[in-house]
Chains A and B, each alone.
Chain A
Amino acid sequence: MEVNEMIKPENLVVGRTSVLKECPMHYCPGCTHGVVHKLIAEVVEEMGIQDSTIGVCPVGCSVFMYNYMDVDMAEAAHGRAPAVATAISRLNPDKYVFTYQGDGDMASIGCAEIMHACNRGENIVVIFINNAIYGMTGGQMAPTTLLGQITATTPYGREPKLHGYPLQITELIAQLPGTCYVTRQSADTPAAIRKTKAAIKKAFMNTRRGVGTSYVEVVGTCASGWKLSPENANEWMRQNMFEKYPVGDLKDI
């Protein structure tokens, strides 16, 4: 078979979802953001809700998520995405509203907003990318940074006396009565990516049920911040992150 024949539409096995715009992403090689963006876009496409989805993006590496997702989006101030999404959802109850935040944005500066949005049981989907580091500002300590982990602001490793402990915010959120679905997934293997997509889909489906906040943590990598190759970053994540942040459902009502 010639190449020209192979790329005919009828031979297409897998394609780019139409909910992602046709433009290159700015993310580093090996970054988890691009994968999760794609998964959200695929779920939106599969559910046929592109015209009724409104996203809220954070401050951090994914600040320009609106450049990639072909759905209406608002860019929120640092940490405030759950507050922004609260109002969008309450004022537009017919919409699927999601937030997309990193660990610094959600678990540090926006800790109050995420706790209270989840505690009120806002009818939103929360996507939380945890790579245990501040990516955009150049690799500083995040609340989820592991003990001993070296970052730009923990150059000798994170030490509890100096820097406090890694924050297991997902475990805290699972205890809040306003949440209906709290899960932690990863995106390091094809199987893990499929599970993450299923989790995201379940979260969006929950919006239809209107039974509370759905929350999906994705443990991810930051090859640049960790100063590792993409492949080694995945390995480092499996070796170190999963112990503190084990993958699986914490709550599913």
Chain B
Amino acid sequence: MTEEILIAGFGGQGVLSMGKILAYAGIMKDKEVSWMPSYGPEMRGGTANVTVILSDEKISSPILNKFDTVIVLNQQSMDKFEGAVKPGGCLLYDPNGITIFPTRRDINICRIEATRLAAESGNPKVFNMIVLGAYVAVKGVVETSSVQLALEKSLPERYHKLIPLNMQAFTSGMELVEKEFLVE
């Protein structure tokens, strides 16, 4: 099994940390993992993306241009990366702020209204956990328990009290993801 994922959005949306939790969850399942950010000088608001690879084998290239799954969190990323999904792969997106919707019909397309859900929950910071929940519901490469473990391992102890809130967001993402288009 090898799963190659790109997560792309604005800096500040938690793109990098979402990738990190996913990579950590992979380690919990004894997988080989790599996490490669597009590193830029922007601290806030610029575009950020991260490539995460989970595999049962040693990972060769940490840099790819075709992915099994692309998670898109803003319009710029949609414009840039819709074409980067492998045929038969999966595009997962948040419709918030999207004006030009995906048109490909050789890939699976799922949507998660994570921005809206996060705002409704009164805690916009859990946005990335909602998206992660949606991703895990769709692809199932890691289990909920691995994500829980990943949070415990990757967060400093003083943030552990926030784990239930994050896992709640994760579960809501799992439940509310919509399958918009499925290839045969």
Chain A directly contacts chain B within the complex, with at least one CB pair under 8 Å? no
